[in-house]
Amino acid sequence: MSKHNASLPLNTDNDLIAEQGVQTLDKTPLIVLEGGNDTKFFRYMFREIQFSPKTEVKKGWEGVYNFVEKWNKKLDVGELKKKHNKVIGVIDRDYHDYSNKIFFPNNIIKTDYRDLEIVLFESDTALNRILINYGRDPTSYPVKSNNDIDLDLVRSIIYEKSMALSKIRYFKVVSQIENFGINCITDEGKGFENFFCHKTFNLDEKKLASLLCQRNRQVKEETILSWINTKVEIDPKLLCRGHDIISILARSFRKYFNNLGAQLTSSEDIEKELLLAFPFNEFKELTYVQELLNQLEIKPSI
């Protein structure tokens, strides 16, 4: 997602379009992404098939959409250039399936789940490694009959802890409320520490609503609390924001699973580890990756 954009260089849209449209000898496609984690993810995975596409980071899905739309309007450049100079955007699914505000062209692909971080969290290989590396004592986690960590139950616990915040994010979008800042509460300063109760290991819903109202005076506290109390029939993988989930996971080792030997860690460290632990065999099975590979006309042999 676009959380990690700042350290990556940005070219202007016109420069990139000119570069892709004019350099007919350069057959490398351009993949336009939302953020730094997306770029690292694809670079790590594409190394497995010795493929090095050019990637460019734009600010959020809007930046990706606007760039690809500009490119699509320049498709009268001849069959050769259309075939060999491809521009493909990859964006987080977010709540686009529920807002119906934008029609996305075929060369913009959405992640299988809400965002990349949820894709990483849903990997059995990556999550198991994180739980063992940071938790240290596997016996503190719920286990299955074969004594393996019950990864589905761990995920269910973490998803449930984020549900209040996830509903607020969802209803903010489907209610089409503009300029309603949520990340300013969750990502700045102490972030989750401002409304997360470590004694109960739950979000303090009243405090969260109050903090949001202080920053967003156009929405009343009772409205936010009503969103939290509304039942939503959406798969958590599509509802919950990955950065929220990883933030809660980072706090869970000692505070929820009573793993007293657990490492103190940050959500940023866990995101990096999940990226590194994600296996190629799971990568190539993702629907959005298969769609991307199809558009790139690549068939991985691994």
Q: State the pTM of this model.
A: 0.86
Q: What is the pLDDT of residues 157-186, one digit of tens each?
A: 999 999 999 999 999 999 988 888 898 888
Q: Please report which confidence band the pLDDT of residue 21 belongs to, taking 50, 70 and 90 as the band edges.
A: very low
pLDDT of 83 strictly over 70: no
- Describe the crossing of helices 163-174 and 151-161 by its angle, rounded to 10 degrees: 60
- Nearest by Cα to 244 from 139, 133, 163, 129: 163
CA dist., res. 237 & res. 218, Å (int): 29
Pairwise CA distance, residues 60 & 279, whole Å:
26
Confidence of residue 301 (pLDDT cuts 50, 70, 90): low
DSSP string, 211-246: HHHHH-TTS-HHHHHHHHHS---S-HHHHS-HHHHH
pLDDT of residue 76: 47
Mean pLDDT of 4-31: 53
Q: Which of 128, 124, 127, 50 is nearest to 302 (CA)?
A: 50
- pLDDT-derived band at 99 (thresholds 50, 70, 90) equals confident
Averaged confidence pLDDT in the chain: 85
Task: Check whether 251 has a pLDDT greater than 70.
Answer: yes
Q: How far is CA 231 from the centre of its chain?
A: 23
Most confident of 65-74, 109-118, 259-268: 109-118
Q: Is the distance from CB of 120 to CB of 275 less than 8 angstroms?
A: yes
Contacts (Cβ under 8 Å, ≥6 apart) of 196? 202, 203, 204, 248, 251
Closest residue by Cα to residue 156 from 176, 168, 142: 142
Instruction: Delimit the domains of the chain by residue range.
Output: 28-112+286-296, 117-279
Across 133-155, average pLDDT: 90
pLDDT band at 260; cut points 50, 70, 90: low
Mean pLDDT value of segment 253-258: 83
